[in-house]
C-alpha cells in the first residue's frame, strides 16, 4: 500500500496558521503595532481604511530591515527575536513566534518599504497571497512601513464573516488602546478614512490614559503601587463612584503586554467588594512586572492569555494593593506633579462673565381680557424648570433598604396590564400613599393598585422621549453658564451620531469639538448636576447595543435616557408627584410594563383581601 501522508505546501500551512493569528483586521493591527514596538520605534502611525477591510498601514521609525531580512520576514518561523529555546524563558519582545507576517501574507496583499539607518537605500517588497511579486530598491525614510491591503481577498468566507465597519473599527481601536497604554513613551497616531482619531504624544502613564479616555478620566484615577518579590504593581484604578455599566476601561498588562485574566479580574472585584452598585464595572489600568521566567505566554497564539507560576500570591497581592489604594484616596488627595490642572475641572466656569437672565414680556398681554385670567399670566419668565421643579429631589436618597414604614407585606395577586382607569381616575386622587419610598399605592374601584414608582416613571419618560425624538421636540432649559464636558474621541463620535435626537429631547449643543462638548441647554427633567452622568450612561448603552437601523438608535436612546433619569426607588414623593406619576402612567400606550418588559404595577382586588381575612 502506498504512503498517504504528505507535507502541506507552505502557502497552505500559512493559510491555516492565518486562521489562528488573524481573526479580523484588528488582529493584523495588533501584530503590526507589536512589530513596530519590537523594532524600538519612538513614533508609530496607524492608518486604516474601511475599518481595515481595504487598508491597514503601520509606519514606524524603528530599526528597519535589510534587503534579505525583509524577504525572510515573510517566511514561516522567521524571527529575529529568539535564537535558542532558552530565549523563550526570558522574553522581552512582543513577538517571537515568527508567524505573524507569514500568516498575514497568505491572506492579503502586502506592500512593505523598509530601510535601516546605516544603509543608503531602502527596499520595496510586494507580495500577494504568500507570493513575492517584486522587490526593488527604493527611497524611504529610516524605519518600516507595512501596508496590508484587501485582507482575506482569497478567503471569501472569512471576508463575509467580518462585521460592520463600526464593529470592526471598535476592535481596532481596542487593540490600539492596549498597545498605546502600555507604551506611553512612544508617540502614536490613528487615522481612519482621513479622520484623525488619536494623536498621542509621548507622555507619562497617567497622561496617556487621560489622552485616550478624555480629560474627565483624570479625576477618577487612584494610583496603585506595590513592590514585592513576586510582582511589582503600578497603575491606576477608578474611584468606585465612577464605575460604569460597561467593562470597557479594564486593562491588565504583564511585562507591558496586554493580557486577559478572569482570575486577576476577580482579585480586583474582591478589592472593590461593597463599594460598587450592582452590575457596575470599575476602571483599572494595572501594570504587573514579573520575572519573565515565571510566566508562560506561549499558551495562546494571539498571546493574550498567560500562566503565572505563582498565581495565588499574585492574586492576594493585587487585591490588597488595590484595596489599600481605594482606602486611601479619599483621605489623602492624590498628588501628581506632572498633571495638567486644566483637566481637573469638568466645567470651565473660568473666564466667563455671568449673563443676566432675559425676561420676556408678552406685549399683547391684556389683563382685562377674561380668558387670560383663567389661564394664568401670559408673561413668561425663563424659569429653569417649569413644571418639573419637584423632580429636583429625584436623585437623592438612593438606598431603598433603609426606608422605614411598613415592610414585608406580601401581596399575592395577578398581574394585569389592561386598561384600568376607565372612568375612575378621580378616585385615585384621594386614597393614595407611598409605601417604603418605593411603591405608590392607590385605591381604585374594587381594590387597589401597587405601582412601582421607578418603573412607572421609566415607562412614562420612555414614551415621552420617544415622542419628542420622533414627533415634536420638547422645550429645553437654557443654562446660565454653558457646561463643558470632556469625552473620549469614540464617545464624541457617538454623540455626533445621536446629536439630532438629543436636541429633540432638549439638549442644546453650542459646540462639539474633538474632545469636548459645550452644552447650553438641557432637557427639563434632567438636573444640571446630573448631565455628565446621564450622558455617560447613555453613551455606554449606545456603545453596548450597536443599532443596525436608524429607528433602533432612537429606541435605545429613549430607553437609556428614560432609565437614567427616572426617579429611583428610595425617593420620597409628595402627593402631587404621586398623582402626576399615576396620571401620566395611565396616559401611556403601554402602562403595564417597562421598555424592558418588567411589570410596572399590580392590582389587588377586594376579594383577594377578603380571602386573607377568612
Ligand atoms: P515575530 O514578531 O514573532 O518575530 P513576525 O512575523 O511578526 O514575527 O516578524 C518577523 C520578523 O520580521 C521579526 O522578527 C522582525 O525581525 C522583522 N520585522 C517585522 N516587522 C518589523 C518592523 N516593523 N521593523 C523591523 N523589523 C520587523
Ligand atoms: Mg511579530
Q: Per-residue DSSP letters for 393-459?
A: GGGS---GGG--SS--PPP---B--S---TTTGGGGGSSEEEETTTEEEEEETTEEEEEEHHHHHHH
81 pocket-lining for ligand 1 (C-beta < 6 Å): yes
The atom of ligand 1 lying closest to the CA of 99 is: 6
The atom of ligand 1 lying closest to the CA of 94 is: 2
The atom of ligand 1 lying closest to the CA of 63 is: 25
59 pocket-lining for ligand 1 (C-beta < 6 Å): no
301 pocket-lining for ligand 1 (C-beta < 6 Å): no
Give tens-digit pLDDT for 456-492: 999 999 998 888 887 777 778 888 888 888 888 888 8
Distance CA 408, CA 361 (A): 54
- Statement: residue 217 has pLDDT above 90: no
Whose Cα sits closest to atom 13 in ligand 1? Answer: 79
Distance from Cα 35 to the centre of ligand 2, integer Å:
5
Whose Cα sits closest to atom 16 in ligand 1? Answer: 80
Distance CA 509, CA 14 (A): 52
- Statement: residue 70 has pLDDT above 90: yes
581 pocket-lining for ligand 1 (C-beta < 6 Å): no
The atom of ligand 1 lying closest to the CA of 102 is: 6
In which band, very low, low, confident or very high, does the pLDDT at 244 lie, cut at 50, 70 and 90?
A: confident
- Using a 10 angstrom Cβ sphere, with 0-12 exposed, 13-18 middle and 19 or more buried, the burial of residue 110 is buried
Backbone angles phi, psi at 76, to 5 degrees: -70, 145
Which residue has better confidence, 473 or 171?
A: 171
Domains of the chain: 10-200 (3.30.565.10), 205-328 (3.30.230.10), 432-603 (3.30.1370.100)
Please choose from 46, 63, 95 the residue to mutate so as to test ligand 1's pocket, defined by most ligand atoms within 8 A of CB: 95
Distance CA 108, CA 467 (A): 48
Please, which residues have CB within 8 angstroms of residue 229's CB and are 6 or more apart in sequence? none
Q: What value does the mean pLDDT of the chain take?
A: 80
What integer pLDDT is reported at residue 275 of this predicted model? Answer: 86
The set of cell numbers assigned to 91 is 522574553
- Using a 10 angstrom Cβ sphere, with 0-12 exposed, 13-18 middle and 19 or more buried, the burial of residue 430 is exposed
Distance from Cα 567 to the centre of ligand 1, integer Å:
56
pTM value > 0.75: no
Please choose from 43, 68, 73 the residue to mutate so as to test ligand 1's pocket, defined by most ligand atoms within 8 A of CB: 73
Give tens-digit pLDDT for 138-168: 999 999 999 999 999 998 888 888 888 888 9
In which band, very low, low, confident or very high, does the pLDDT at 391 lie, cut at 50, 70 and 90?
A: very low
In which band, very low, low, confident or very high, does the pLDDT at 424 lie, cut at 50, 70 and 90?
A: very low
Of the candidates 286, 356, 290, 340, the one whose C-alpha atom is nearest the C-alpha of residue 486 is: 340
Give the number of other CB atoms < 10 A from CB of residue 53: 19
Of the candidates 562, 559, 491, 540, the one whose C-alpha atom is nearest the C-alpha of residue 246 is: 540
What integer pLDDT is reported at residue 88 of this predicted model? Answer: 66
Amino acid at each position: 500500500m502506498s504512503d498517504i501522508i504528505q507535507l502541506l505546501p507552505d502557502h497552505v500551512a500559512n493559510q491555516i496558521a492565518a486562521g489562528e493569528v488573524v481573526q479580523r483586521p484588528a488582529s493584523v493591527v495588533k501584530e503590526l503595532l507589536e512589530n513596530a514596538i519590537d523594532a524600538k520605534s519612538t513614533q508609530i502611525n496607524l492608518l486604516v481604511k474601511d475599518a481595515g477591510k481595504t487598508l491597514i498601514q503601520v509606519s514606524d521609525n524603528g530599526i528597519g530591515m535589510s534587503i534579505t531580512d525583509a524577504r525572510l520576514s515573510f517566511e514561516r518561523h522567521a524571527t529575529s527575536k529568539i535564537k535558542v529555546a532558552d530565549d523563550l524563558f526570558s522574553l522581552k519582545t512582543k513577538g517571537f513566534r515568527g508567524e505573524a507576517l507569514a500568516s498575514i501574507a497568505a491572506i492579503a496583499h502586502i506592500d512593505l518599504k523598509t530601510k535601516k539607518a546605516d544603509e543608503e537605500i531602502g527596499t520595496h517588497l510586494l507580495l500577494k497571497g504568500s507570493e513575492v511579486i517584486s522587490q526593488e530598491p527604493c527611497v524611504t525614510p529610516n524605519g518600516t512601513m507595512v501596508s496590508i491591503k484587501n485582507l482575506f481577498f482569497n478567503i471569501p468566507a472569512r471576508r463575509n464573516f467580518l462585521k460592520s465597519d463600526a464593529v470592526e473599527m471598535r476592535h481596532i481601536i481596542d487593540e490600539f488602546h492596549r498597545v498605546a497604554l502600555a507604551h506611553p513613551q512612544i508617540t502614536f497616531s490613528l487615522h481612519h478614512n482621513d479622520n484623525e482619531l488619536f494623536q498621542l504624544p509621548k507622555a507619562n502613564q497617567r497622561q496617556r490614559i487621560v489622552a485616550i479616555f478624555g480629560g474627565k478620566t483624570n479625576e477618577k484615577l487612584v494610583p496603585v503601587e506595590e513592590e514585592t518579590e513576586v510582582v511589582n504593581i503600578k497603575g491606576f484604578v477608578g474611584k468606585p463612584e465612577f464605575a460604569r455599566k460597561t467593562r470597557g476601561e479594564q486593562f491588565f498588562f504583564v511585562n507591558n503586554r496586554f493580557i486577559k485574566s478572569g482570575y486577576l479580574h476577580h482579585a480586583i472585584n474582591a478589592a472593590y467588594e461593597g463599594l460598587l452598585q450592582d452590575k457596575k464595572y470599575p476602571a483599572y489600568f494595572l501594570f504587573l512586572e514579573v520575572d519573565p521566567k515565571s510566566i508562560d505566554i506561549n499558551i495562546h497564539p494571539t498571546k493574550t492569555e498567560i500562566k503565572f507560576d505563582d498565581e495565588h500570591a499574585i492574586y492576594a497581592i493585587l487585591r490588597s494593593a488595590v484595596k489599600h489604594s481605594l482606602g486611601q484616596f479619599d483621605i489623602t488627595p492624590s498628588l501628581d506633579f506632572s498633571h495638567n490642572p486644566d483637566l481637573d475641572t469638568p466645567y470651565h466656569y473660568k473666564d466667563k462673565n455671568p449673563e443676566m437672565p432675559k425676561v420676556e414680556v408678552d406685549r399683547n398681554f391684556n389683563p382685562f381680557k377674561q380668558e387670560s385670567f383663567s389661564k394664568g399670566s401670559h408673561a413668561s419668565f425663563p424659569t429653569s424648570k417649569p413644571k418639573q421643579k419637584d423632580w429636583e429631589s429625584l436623585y437623592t436618597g438612593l438606598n431603598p433598604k433603609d426606608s422605614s414604614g411598613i415592610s414585608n407585606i406580601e401581596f399575592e395577586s395577578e398581574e394585569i396590564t389592561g386598561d384600568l382607569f376607565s372612568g375612575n381616575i378621580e378616585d385615585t386622587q384621594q386614597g393614595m400613599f407611598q409605601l417604603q419610598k418605593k411603591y405608590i399605592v392607590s385605591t381604585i374601584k374594587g381594590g387597589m393598585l401597587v405601582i412601582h414608582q421607578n418603573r412607572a416613571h421609566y415607562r412614562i419618560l420612555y414614551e415621552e422621549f420617544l415622542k419628542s425624538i420622533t414627533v415634536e421636540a420638547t422645550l429645553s432649559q437654557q443654562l446660565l453658564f454653558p457646561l463643558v464636558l470632556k469625552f473620549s474621541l469614540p464617545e464624541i463620535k457617538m454623540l455626533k451620531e445621536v446629536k439630532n435626537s438629543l436636541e429633540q429631547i432638549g439638549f442644546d449643543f453650542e459646540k462639539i469639538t474633538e474632545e469636548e462638548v459645550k452644552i447650553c441647554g438641557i432637557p427639563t427633567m434632567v438636573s444640571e448636576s446630573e448631565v455628565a452622568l446621564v450622558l455617560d450612561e447613555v453613551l455606554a448603552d449606545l456603545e453596548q447595543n450597536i443599532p443596525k437601523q436608524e429607528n433602533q438608535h432612537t429606541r435605545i436612546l429613549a430607553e437609556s435616557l428614560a432609565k437614567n433619569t427616572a426617579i429611583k426607588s428610595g425617593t420620597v414623593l409628595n402627593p402631587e408627584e404621586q398623582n402626576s406619576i399615576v396620571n401620566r402612567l395611565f396616559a401611556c400606550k403601554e402602562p403595564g410594563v417597562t421598555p424592558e418588559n418588567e411589570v410596572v404595577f399590580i392590582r389587588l382586588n377586594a376579594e383577594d383581601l377578603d380571602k386573607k381575612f377568612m
